[in-house]
Copies of this chain bind each other. A is one copy, B any other.
Amino acid sequence: MDSPASTPPSAVVLLSGGLDSATCLAIAKAEGFSVHAISFRYGQRHLEELRRASRLAKQAGVVSHRVIDIDLGQLGGSALTDETIGVPKADSVDQIGDEIPVTYVPARNTIFLSYALAVAETTGSHDLFIGVNALDYSGYPDCRPEFIEAFEAMARLATKDGVEGNQPLTIHTPLIDLTKAQIIARGLELGVDYSLTLSCYDPVPEGGADGAVKPCGRCDACLLRDKGFRENGMSDPSLAG
């Protein structure tokens, strides 16, 4: 660590406003990093998750929080960005298929990590946290460990650090081997306020003037999350009230 003891090293954390990234942020803080958080406005069906990301970032005391506009919507091909494709619903996690779901966004994590790499370079950070998960990942190709390893290898060649022989970039995936229940248990230990997080792919307007929404309770993300809280002997605090 070449930073003086009085200046903690900085890390870039991808923060969506969901359960996984909120936990990832808490882990980065617990490991002693000062955090540059980044979120994306990428043509999501709803922007509530960005409001949640802002509140989580503020609560965690990050150094900076960038919300970067990117237009994945014009690329099409995902239920998360294309209104003409329905979000699949089910009654339990057992009904979630093995194939790559329509909620997959083409090359999304590659694009997100590329921006994170740019932020890492401009902020002098050598560490990058992303809350991908290989167990509950519902078949997304860009949540697999081999993808993350290949991105890290590429990233180490992509920037000035790679040419100048500086400390290489490390991509941290602290959640990659955890079940949703284990992720929640870790976050609870670290004091994550899960009532602030929103994971739902298709939230329902609550009808108020503030545009607040509540989780649908039946998309893959809601079902996996519900199961995780139940395995911790509690109900999802984002569903309370």
Instruction: List residues of A whose CB falls within 8 A of some B CB.
Output: 66, 68-72, 74-77, 100, 104, 106-111, 113-115, 117-119, 121-122, 139, 141-142, 144, 146-147, 150-151, 153-160, 162-164
Kindly provide the distance from the CB of A227 to the nearest chain B CB, expressed in whole angstroms.
Answer: 24
Question: Could you write out 23 A-B pairs with CB less than 8 Å apart?
Answer: A66-B74, A68-B74, A69-B71, A70-B70, A72-B118, A76-B122, A100-B163, A106-B118, A106-B121, A106-B122, A106-B159, A107-B114, A107-B115, A107-B117, A107-B118, A110-B114, A110-B117, A111-B118, A113-B114, A146-B157, A147-B158, A147-B162, A153-B153
Seed contacts A76-B122, A147-B154, A150-B153; 8 additional CB < 8 Å A-B pairs: A70-B70, A75-B122, A106-B118, A106-B122, A142-B158, A142-B159, A150-B150, A153-B153
